[in-house]
Amino acid sequence: MFTGIITDIGRVTAVARQGDTRFTLGTSYDTSAIEVGASIACSGACLTVIEKGPGWFAVKASAETLSCTTLGDWKPGTPVNLERPLTLAAELGGHIVGGHVDAVARVVSILPEGDSLRHVVEVEAPYGRYIAAKGSVALDGVSLTVNDVADGADGATRFGVNVIEHTREHTTFGALCAGDRLNLEIDMLARYAARLLGKE
């Protein structure tokens, strides 16, 4: 379980595709405090640490994970938002994030709005129905508040989020451009509400 508050920007240092895909990531985390078998959210995808060393750790992703996320695009040098799991003593600064990516969304536009940047993001049906104004969404593992939502005639949904300077400096959002793809996780509460109402 995570909060969507990024605590490090790692970087892919190696990719090995044999059966499952192994990614090695450089990090500023103290890896001596990370157990093999621990979970780390990597740009929103919860992955298991299978090996580690000073300043790096390795994870594996299945073909299913690659098909449902942007991880298939990763190559050496790719920056990755990292978050270690929530502990009972930690402050819940974002929202409850499971690390289970629901869909891949696309950045439509990025425009200045005050001191922040307004990102308009598009997601295909049926995931747009879970996006609500003033609700929460995780994009590449970052907890963000939805400002507005618009459903298109083609079934896709566009929604806006504002990204402040601090977030841009401490996540991969500082390098985002229109057209970039993002891992999207819908709000867990929205998912369960839809299930209880028989709409999923």
Query: Hey, what are 169's tokens?
Result: 């400096």
Whether 188 has a pLDDT exceeding 80, the answer reads yes
Those residues with Cβ within 8 angstroms of residue 191's Cβ, 6 or more apart along the chain or in another chain = 130, 200
Whether 197 has a pLDDT exceeding 80, the answer reads no
What percent of the chain clears pLDDT 70, i.e. is strictly above it?
A: 98
Residue 115: predicted pLDDT: 94
Domains 8-83 and 103-196 share a fold: yes
Fold type of domain 8-83: Elongation Factor Tu (Ef-tu); domain 3 (2.40.30)
Cα 124 to Cα 157: distance, rounded to the nearest angstrom: 6
Question: Is residue 121 very low, low, confident or very high in pLDDT (cuts 50, 70, 90)?
Answer: very high
Cα 107 to Cα 122: distance, rounded to the nearest angstrom: 6
Query: Mean pLDDT over all residues of the chain?
Result: 94
Average confidence (pLDDT) over 43-61? 98
Top pLDDT among 126 and 40 is at 40
The model's pLDDT over 129-181, given as tens digits with 9 standing for 90+, comes to 899 999 999 999 999 999 999 998 788 999 999 999 999 999 999 999 999 99
Query: Hey, what are 79's tokens?
Result: 């920056």
Closest C-alpha among 78, 74, 105, 80 to residue 181: 105
Residue 18: predicted pLDDT: 87
Whether 82 has a pLDDT exceeding 70, the answer reads yes
Sorted by where each begins, the domain ranges of the chain are: 8-83, 103-196
pTM: 0.93
As a dihedral over the C-alpha atoms of residue 122, residue 124, residue 127, residue 128, rounded to 10 degrees, the angle is: 50
SS3 state of residue 166: helix
Q: What does R_g of the chain's alpha carbons equal in angstroms?
A: 17
Overall CATH class of domain 103-196: mainly beta
